[in-house]
């Protein structure tokens, strides 16, 4: 039960860190708050919950097979793998929901919306990686 609650907290923390990265990037790029990009945000959340998070957990389970002892090396490997997958996830969002018109073309990968998606998924992956490493260390010491 404790493991379930800790990983639920990790999911919530990683999601809201992704939102924080998304909004910070939106402010840094001076994208208006009420732009059409915000209309697509619920789809990004659904994609994160039903596609990215299960893959994050699969990556963590896969890395547990190798049982790397060093928490720094383990966290670094996990972070790199999750960030690489996050870039892939950010690129897949428009294609999973029908292409969104111009977003299905190659110029999407360098658009403002793509940068927002990259920042959302990378921020979520960073916090998910660090939080899961800390949680694993905590749970292994608990017994």
Burial of 10 (0-12, 13-18, 19+ CB in 10 A): buried
* Token digits of residue 2: 């404790």
* Phi-psi map region of 87: left, alpha, beta (phi>0 left; psi -120 to 50 alpha): alpha
Q: pLDDT by residue for the chain (143 residues), tens digit each?
A: 888 999 999 999 999 999 899 889 988 988 776 665 665 677 788 888 888 899 999 988 888 888 777 778 878 888 898 888 888 887 777 676 565 555 556 677 777 878 888 899 999 999 999 999 899 888 888 86
Say which DSSP state 69 is in.
Answer: -
Residue 131 near residue 10 (C-beta atoms within 8 A) = yes
């Amino acid at each position: 039960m404790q493991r379930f609650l800790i990983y639920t907290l990790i999911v919530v923390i990683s999601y809201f860190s992704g939102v924080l990265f998304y909004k910070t990037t939106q402010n840094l790029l001076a994208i208006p708050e009420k732009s059409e990009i915000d209309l697509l945000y619920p789809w990004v959340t659904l994609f994160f919950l039903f596609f990215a998070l299960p893959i994050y957990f699969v990556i963590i389970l896969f890395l547990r097979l190798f049982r790397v002892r060093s928490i720094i090396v383990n966290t670094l490997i996990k972070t790199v793998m999750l960030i690489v997958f996050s870039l892939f996830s950010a690129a897949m969002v428009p294609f999973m929901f029908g292409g969104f018109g111009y977003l299905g073309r190659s110029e999407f990968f360098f658009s403002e919306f793509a940068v927002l998606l990259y920042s959302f998924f990378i921020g979520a992956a960073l916090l998910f990686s660090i939080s899961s490493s800390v949680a694993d260390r905590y749970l292994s010491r608990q017994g």
